[in-house]
Amino acid sequence: MARSQARVVVTGLGATTPVGGDVASTWESLLAGRSGVRKLTQEWVADLPVQIGAPAAVDPSEVLPRVEARRLDRSAQFAIICARQAWADAGFSGKASEAGLDPERVGVVCASGIGGLTTLLSNYDQLRDAGPRRVSPLAIPMLMPNSPSANVSIELQAQAGAHTPVSACSSGAEALAYAVDMIRLGRADVVVAGGTEAVISPLPIAAFANMMALSKRSDDPTAVSRPFDKNRDGFVLGEGGALMVLESAEHAEARGARVYAEIAGAGMSADAHHIAQPEPSGRGVVTAIRKALTDAELTPDDIAHVNCHATSTPAGDVAESVALNAVFGDRTPSIPVTAPKSMIGHLLGGAGAVESLATVLTLHHGLVPPTANVDDVDDDINLDIVRTTPRKLDDGPLAALNDSFGFGGHNVVLAFRRT
């Protein structure tokens, strides 16, 4: 199928993550190999099988005014914070029309894995304990999964469309893929895209633990998330997110915007295999990578770096390594890869967005952040894992991939290019 000529570039970045309340502090922590995983201190953790997590480094209550925050689920609080950062970073201020943009040419795609779950649970508590009159009239507008994207569209006066891809842990990457389509199809010139998640609470922790998805290690919290390591036993639940300003290259050039990188292509597939288990041969992942390369008009030889999905589960990390080896063959051991979840945990719907942001910065700065806690590489993992200190990439044009996969068998691979 013919693809549109519109190239899509990244001109603004916003993030709030377990290792930093903004992009600069997040990037600095990733380069330093600093973990945001901690022992949770809330009263409710006492009875839980897992008592660690990766909470946002800066609580949204420290950033947003109280009255604004009380009308937003925590996932939407993260989205508003990220959107304001990314918008300002792209050189815009005020609403779209005040920033010299046509509101009908500005879109939003903000993903969520699970939606406003803690709002739902706290309102259910109200219903049960105090009766129906005490259920908040804001409950639905706060808990609906599209609430973050809707609130960002209101904040920025983005009228080209506000969308919410939901594909579990690949949602944030799917949002970026959707935004690329919006620009290529001529539906928007500027799209604020990414994802957030905020479900560090007893029910999701118990549920993920019962799926055998979470690590049950109880030693040093910062050592628990260990993608590719022999002693990995599951992921750590994180929260936060990232949003980027994407623009058509033409639009960015016309206004003299700084360009971090190009999103050159996207590839998506579904394993059609099992609702939670990864497909062991990595077949769906291979398909998604090949589609992303084709869409970006790249070959496997062009790829200088892969930001892995690598959640630190025993099966998932191996399936990803198998897939990368299937695509890159003999070159695989010479492509530096990294796994940010070793430091930020798993942000579910925010993961693909934060890790894509890390991929963009990796190309922009020419530095691959290290993976923490890879003390003893699993014999079944055949990858060049950057460890301990950042790895410098070559100067000049470079391309990199970000892998994001979700429960349900969703595979989203994005190809980024530094020109």
Provide the binding-site residues for another protein, judged by CB under 8 A: 65-67, 70, 133-134, 136-138, 141
Tokens 């500027």 appear where? 190
Which residues, at least 6 apart from 39, have a Cβ–Cβ distance to it below 8 Å? 51, 52, 221
CB of 197 to another protein, least distance (A): 24
CB of 124 to another protein, least distance (A): 17
CB closer to another protein out of 36 and 141:
141
CB of 77 to another protein, least distance (A): 16
CB closer to another protein out of 58 and 135:
135
CB closer to another protein out of 65 and 396:
65
CB of 148 to another protein, least distance (A): 18
For residues 263 and 265, what is the distance between their CA atoms, to the nearest angstrom?
6
Which residues, at least 6 apart from 140, have a Cβ–Cβ distance to it below 8 Å? none
CB closer to another protein out of 150 and 361:
150
Candidate list 82, 110, 169, 308, residue with the active-site label: 169
What is the length of the chain?
A: 419
For residues 56 and 213, what is the distance between their CA atoms, to the nearest angstrom?
21
CB closer to another protein out of 68 and 233:
68
Transcribe 102-126 into DSSP letters. Answer: -GGGEEEEEE-SS-SHHHHHHHHHH
Cα 267 to chain centroid distance, Å, stands at 16
Q: If we measure between CA atoms, which residue out of 208, 109, 173 comes closest to residue 406?
A: 173
CB of 67 to another protein, least distance (A): 3
From the CA atom positions of the chain, what is the Rg in Å?
Answer: 20
Dihedral-angle region of residue 18 (phi above 0 means left; psi in -120 to 50 means alpha; beta otherwise): alpha
Helix and strand numbers (H, E) in the chain are 13, 15
Residue 169 bears catalytic tag: yes
For 32, counting Cβ atoms within 10 Å of its Cβ (0-12 exposed, 13-18 middle, 19+ buried), the class is middle
Cα 286 to chain centroid distance, Å, stands at 20
Percent of the chain that is helix, strand, coil (3-state, to 5)? 40, 20, 40
CB of 130 to another protein, least distance (A): 9
Helices marked H in 296-396 — which ranges? 314-328, 341-344, 351-365
CB of 95 to another protein, least distance (A): 17
303-307 vs 398-406, strand pairing mode:
parallel
CB closer to another protein out of 3 and 70:
70
CB closer to another protein out of 141 and 350:
141
Catalytic residues: 169
